[in-house]
Chain A
Amino acid sequence: MRLPQFEYVEPKTLKEASKLLASDKGSLLLAGGTDLIVNMKHRVIQPKQVINLKAIPKLAYITEGKDGLRIGTLSILRDIASSPLIKERYPTLGQAVREVGAYAHQSMGTLGGNLCQGNRCRFYNQSAFWRGVRPPCFKTGGKVCYVVPVRPSGGPKSKECHSAYCGDLAPVLIALDAQIKILGPEGERSLPLKKLYTHNGKKPLALKKGEILKEILVPPASGKTLYLKWRLRDSLEFPIISLALHMEKDEKERIKKAKIVFSAVGGGPVEVIEAGKMLKNGLLDEQMIEKVSNQAVKEISPMRTSIHSPAYKRKMAGILLRQALEEISSESLIRSNSTL
């Protein structure tokens, strides 16, 4: 499949890149390319100009300071997974990185690119030929979303794109309270990673014109983080649904803090806030696990964006969360037994 034609530029600084991105409406950023090039081949996106960020120096680094871990936006996924610092201090982040795509995707892909990857939907992640049988959907410039079909008898039409965010790293980083630094025409700004996602499929990222993700900051880690990814093959695939869980407990095993974030169930990474609140100040016993997993299932609303039905995804969400909570509770049981 041939790529459409485009102008190609290689800015030498991030500021220059930001200026280029702001000046032309049809510009897009290229980092690893594993998401962008596929979408361009499918003619889902046809940028006038491709801005390659990889010629900009000093955007790939992993360092740890007082305020936590700093990762440059162009850090290669494989480097993050094999970094001794990540392995020792943030093993779950390393594990999640190894769950992205396959080996080659990990050696091409970057952290910034992974976080900014396009939303996915079975109706537009297809060739132009495949899509050609229907009028275009919201994502490809049309005025309809096929995820929510209009019944022959009429009824309300969906007013927005329901595509799902399917990234692996955003849920883990959100569970870890990561912040991001963005460079734009008006200078730098920081915001919680969670706020990067608009949950609107048509424009999933809250980046203003000319803004580029520059750095990811993860506060010092304590407690336990888990990432569970459910898919049919053990590699290469996007999640059917995945879950990141971060939990901190005090000495008496009482839960101080809990964050539960799902991927592939909504227009962005979905944090189930009520379920997280339920855990707070509680003890992780069988009753609590049951209650929290039931609550989480109610808080998500997956759509038919992949071949898997929303009902199935919902059920699996409960199962994954139960599995994660049981893993943490059995670990603390082992710990308390060993101290006896």
Chain B
Amino acid sequence: MKHILKLHINGEEYEVLTEIHKTLLEVLREDLGLTGTKRGCDLGTCGACTVLIEGRPYLSCLTLAVDVQGKKILTIEGLEKDGELHPLQKAFAEKGAIQCGFCTPGMILTAKAFLEEQPHPSEGEVKKAIAGNLCRCTGYVKIVEAILSVTDRSSEFGVGSSES
């Protein structure tokens, strides 16, 4: 049986007629066409489906859509503002922290949540934070560089700020 779910995604209200046993990932991709959120392992191991719920990273493949009604959901599509990319998105593009790009939405959203929790992390802390996001191209060095480049520690690691 289908139900109407009210979801608050990227600052907009959506009413979706869908099955109750659908995960947030399935609703985002199939019912709303928001395909920026990727389906990887679908079992909570790869982090490709990471979205932010109330600012915290959630694996959308392990989250029931019905469970996050009334909560603020942010997907990669909601990160740019007025045509301007988010500093993390810019940093990933500038540092070449993208190979096939499949892990990128999850990486960027995890990094966003982490930097809000801890604005001045060490390199090790960044690595630990993104440990649940797998990059099968193994391009981790540039991803870590890109994340560090938007923090104030950028000078210590010899990487320029994306803001400049």
Contact = CB atoms under 8 A, between A and B. Distances in A.
Interface of A: 1-8, 30, 33-34, 37-38, 41-42, 50, 52, 54, 78, 82, 101-105, 107-108, 233-236
23 contacts: A1-B43, A4-B21, A6-B20, A8-B21, A8-B64, A37-B44, A37-B64, A38-B43, A38-B44, A52-B64, A82-B117, A103-B113, A103-B128, A103-B131, A104-B44, A104-B50, A104-B57, A104-B58, A104-B59, A105-B59, A108-B58, A235-B128, A236-B132
A23 to B, nearest CB: 19
Nearest to A108: B58
Interface in B102-145: 110, 113-114, 117, 128-133
Contacts of B26: 2
Interface of B: 19-23, 26, 42-45, 47, 50, 56-59, 61-64, 66-67, 110, 113-114, 117, 128-133
B67 A104 contact: no
Contacts of A78: 56
Contact of B110 (A1, A4, A41, A104): A104
A103 B116 CA distance: 13
A54 B21 contact: no
A4 B21 CA distance: 7
Contact of A33 (B19, B20, B64, B114): B64
A37 B23 contact: yes
B39 to A, nearest CB: 10
Contacts of A82: 117
Contacts of A104: 44, 47, 50, 57-59, 110, 132
A1 B42 CA distance: 6
Interface centre among A33, A50, A54, A101 (most CB of B within 10 A): A33
Contacts of B21: 2-6, 8
Interface centre among A30, A54, A102, A236 (most CB of B within 10 A): A102
Given A52-B67, A235-B128, A103 B58 contact: no
Contacts of B117: 82
Nearest to A5: B21
Contacts of A3: 21-23
Given A30-B64, A103-B114, A107-B58, 7 more contacts: A33-B62, A33-B67, A37-B23, A54-B67, A78-B56, A103-B130, A103-B131
B132 A107 contact: no
B8 to A, nearest CB: 16
B21 to A, nearest CB: 5
B129 A103 contact: yes
A54 B66 CA distance: 12
Nearest to A38: B43
Contact of A34 (B23, B44, B47): B44
Contacts of A42: 43
A234 B57 CA distance: 19
A102 B130 CA distance: 8
Nearest to A127: B43
Contacts of A41: 42-43
A247 B87 CA distance: 48
Identify the 10 closest CB pairs spanning chains A and B, nearest first. A102-B132, A235-B131, A107-B56, A104-B57, A37-B62, A3-B21, A8-B20, A104-B59, A1-B42, A5-B21
B131 A236 contact: yes
A221 B127 CA distance: 32
A234 B128 contact: yes
Contacts of A37: 23, 44, 61-64
B99 to A, nearest CB: 21
A103 B132 contact: yes
Interface centre among A42, A54, A104 (most CB of B within 10 A): A104
Nearest to B57: A104
B135 to A, nearest CB: 13
Contact of A108 (B62, B66, B114, B129): B62
A235 B125 CA distance: 12
Contacts of A102: 47, 131-133
A13 to B, nearest CB: 18
Nearest to A41: B43
Given A1-B42, A103-B110, A103-B114, A38 B131 contact: no
Nearest to A125: B43
B143 to A, nearest CB: 14
A42 B62 CA distance: 12
Contacts of A108: 58-59, 62-63
A236 B66 CA distance: 26
